[in-house]
Amino acid sequence: MQFCRNKYTTFEQRHNMKLAIVGCTGLVGNEVLNVLDELSTSVTELILVASEKNIGKKVAFKNSQIRIVSLQDAIDRIPDIAIFCAGSQVSKKWAHKFVEVGTNVIDNSSFFRMQEKIPLIVPEVNRNSLTKANKIIANPNCSTIQMVVALNDIYKQFGLKRLVISTYQSVTGTGQAAVKQMKDERKGLKAEKVYPYQIDQNCFPHGGDFLENGYTTEEIKLIDETRKIYNDSSIKITATVVRIPVIGGHSESVNVETHSPFEIQEIKETLINTPGVKVQDNPSKFDYPMPITAHKKNDVFVGRIRKDTSVSNGFNLWIVADNLRKGAATNAVQIADYIFKNNLL
C-alpha cells in the first residue's frame, strides 16, 4: 500500500523571478527545466547558459525558444538566482562572479559542499537555517539527499546512533557519457568507456575516486554531508557505493541504529508522516520502491521497513529516488523557491 501526505514540491503561482541555469544542456540542467515546467513556475526571465559550443543554440521551454548565452552574458543580466549544474571547475571559477552582482547561487557540484561557511541544504530538513547572508548554497550529493529526507523525522524522534549504507547508483549519476556507454554496450556496439569496466549486465563497488583509506569519494560524501546537514558529528556512519546498469534513480539499503527504543510500527508511522516521503511497503503484494517507478518523480520512496533483530534499536530501510530529480534538480528548485518566497535574496 502506498501512503502520502502533502509534500514540499510545488511552487506558488505568484512567484516571478529572473533565473539562470548554468549547464542547461547537461542531464541535471535539462532536468531543472523539466521540473520548472512541471511545477508551473512563473519565471519572468529564464537565462540559459552552456559551454561555448552551444552558445547561440535554442532550447524549448514552455511555449518559447530560449537562446543559450555565455556565462558573462548571464552575469551582465543580473539574475536573482543562478542554479549551477556544470561541475566543480565552473562553480569554482564563476560562482563568486555571480554573487558579486547580487545573484544567489545554488550549486549542484561538490565544490562548496564541505566549506565551513557554505550551507548544505535539503529543504525538508534544514531550510530554516538559510539567511540573506547565504549567497552561495550547496546542493548535497544525490545519495545523501534522499537518505536524509527519509531519516529526518526519525532522527528528530529517536536520534541516530549509527548508519550502515549500501547504495546501488544509476549510471545517470555519472553523466551523459556513462548513459551512452551502457546503451552502446546493450546494443552490442563498441562503447567509449567512462567506467573502467563494462556496466551493462554488471555492477561494481566503485563510485568516485579511491582514497588511501580504501573508501571512495562518493562514500565519504555520504558520511560527511549527512553529519553536516543534521549538524551532528556524533552519528557513526559507514558506506559502500555500487554502480549498477540502471536509468531512473539511486537505491539505498540503510541499516539504522537509533538512540531511543521504538516499535517498528512507530517507524512506519513516522515515515508516512515525513514530508517528501512516500511509503511503499506491502511485501505480500510485492509493493516496494524501485528505480523504474521512481523515475521522473520528485519524492523519496521508502519500503522494506523491518526490525533488525541483531541489535537493540535497529531497523532496515530500502530508499529509492530519482537522482536527477530529488537528488539534484528538484532539490535545487525547491531551494530557489524557498529563498525567493522568503525574501532571502
Residue positions annotated with a catalytic role: 142, 250
Residue whose entry in the numeric block shows the C-alpha cell 567509449: 192
Output the CA–CA distances (angstroms, integers) from residue 293 to 24, 190, 251, 298, in the order listed.
Answer: 25, 30, 12, 11
Q: From CA 137, how far away is CA 101, in angstroms rounded?
A: 16
**Interaxial angle between packed helices 330-341 and 27-38, expressed in degrees from 0 to 180 and rounded to the nearest 10:** 50
Q: From CA 44, how far away is CA 55, in angstroms rounded?
A: 21
**C-beta of residue 28 within 8 angstroms of C-beta of residue 91:** no
Q: From CA 248, how far away is CA 172, in angstroms rounded?
A: 8
Taken in order 16, 21, 26, 28, the sign of the CA dihedral is negative
Q: From CA 323, how far away is CA 303, in angstroms rounded?
A: 17
Q: From CA 6, how far away is CA 100, in angstroms rounded?
A: 37
Q: From CA 229, how far away is CA 119, in angstroms rounded?
A: 8
Q: What is the DSSP-derived secondary structure letter of residue 62?
A: T
